[in-house]
């Protein structure tokens, strides 16, 4: 199997090199760019699978670069993770709506970064074999089975995908439009209230084992999975 190619777009050399070092150790092939101009040249020549794009870059913001890349159908297969510092005026909704698949806040541990890259690549590949266990819920992606307290919960395909998405992105709030994009696909026209309908069904199915409490409504923002 070919190694996943990751392009690191970051102007601060020590951070870029640190990331390249750890990704190399984790088995990734890495490419480095210090600005957007270089990044675009490397993207065209090397066709990486994933780009780590820093929010603050010298010639263009990471968000503008992400938007530009995602608009180009040539980059349909490119996954993008944005890197941000807590001090950056980072708007995660803007980042995700700009087309980023995920974002990681600095300072991050190499282990966390590798885990996020693996998760994004699994989603990009569409076949997650992962088992996720949170609270009393267990989702086994290989068999498409969900258990709560060891008892199987029957879910429709959309509720299953919704739960899988939320469980693999815990403690983060997703708006209805983001959930539509991630679960139904960006090119499918579905009304936002469809999300509410499926959330309601999912909660109903989880109620027997009191696991519905994990699916939380954040007023004016959207939904979140949290065991807290
Ligand atoms: Ca930077």
From the CA of 125, how far away is ligand 1's center (Å)?
A: 29
From the CA of 59, how far away is ligand 1's center (Å)?
A: 10
* Spatial CA neighbour of 85 closest among 130, 131, 51, 54: 54
* Spatial CA neighbour of 169 closest among 127, 98, 115: 115
| Edge-first strand listing for the sheet containing 145-148 | 131-134, 137-140, 145-148, 151-153
**Residues 143 and 200 both lie in one domain:** yes
Q: What is the spatial distance between Cα 177 and Cα 157, in angstroms, rounded to a whole number?
A: 19
Domain boundary among 77, 96, 125: 125
**Residues 68 and 135 both lie in one domain:** no
From the CA of 61, how far away is ligand 1's center (Å)?
A: 9
Residues 135-148: tens digit of each pLDDT: 999 998 878 889 99
From the CA of 10, how far away is ligand 1's center (Å)?
A: 5
* In the predicted structure, residue 74 carries a pLDDT above the cut 70: yes
* In the predicted structure, residue 69 carries a pLDDT above the cut 60: yes
Residues 96-136: tens digit of each pLDDT: 777 788 888 888 999 889 988 988 887 665 545 678 899 99
How many distinct structural domains can be found in the chain? 2
Domain boundary among 125, 148, 182: 125
Helix axes 13-25, 110-125, angle to 10 degrees: 60
Residues spanned by the domain of 72? 5-125
Residues 7-19: tens digit of each pLDDT: 999 999 999 999 9
**Contact in structure between 59 and 88 (CB atoms under 8 Å):** no
Q: At 89, which CATH number?
A: 3.40.50.2300
**Residues 118 and 140 both lie in one domain:** no
**Residues 99 and 150 both lie in one domain:** no
Domain boundary among 125, 152, 186: 125
From the CA of 186, how far away is ligand 1's center (Å)?
A: 29
**Residues 116 and 136 both lie in one domain:** no
**Residues 27 and 116 both lie in one domain:** yes
């Amino acid at each position: 199997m070919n190694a996943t190619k990751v392009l690191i777009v970051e102007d601060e050399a020590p951070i870029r090199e640190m990331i390249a070092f750890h990704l190399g150790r984790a088995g990734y092939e890495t490419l480095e760019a210090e600005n957007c101009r270089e990044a675009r040249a490397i993207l065209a020549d090397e066709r990486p699978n994933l780009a780590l794009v820093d929010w603050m870059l010298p010639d263009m913001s990471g968000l503008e670069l992400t938007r530009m890349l995602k608009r180009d159908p040539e980059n349909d297969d490119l996954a993008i993770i944005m890197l941000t510092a807590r001090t950056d005026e980072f708007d995660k909704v803007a980042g995700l709506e700009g087309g980023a698949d995920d974002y990681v806040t600095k300072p991050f541990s190499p282990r966390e970064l590798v885990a996020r890259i693996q998760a994004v690549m699994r989603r990009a590949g569409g076949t997650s074999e992962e088992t996720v266990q949170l609270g009393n819920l267990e989702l086994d992606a290989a068999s498409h089975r969900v258990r709560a307290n060891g008892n199987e919960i029957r879910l429709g395909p959309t509720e299953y995908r919704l739960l899988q998405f939320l469980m693999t992105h815990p403690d983060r709030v997703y708006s209805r439009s983001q959930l539509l994009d991630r679960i139904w696909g960006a090119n499918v026209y579905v009304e936002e209230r469809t999300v509410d309908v499926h959330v309601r069904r999912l909660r109903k199915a989880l109620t027997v084992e009191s696991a519905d409490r994990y699916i939380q409504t954040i007023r004016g923002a959207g939904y979140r999975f949290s065991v807290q």
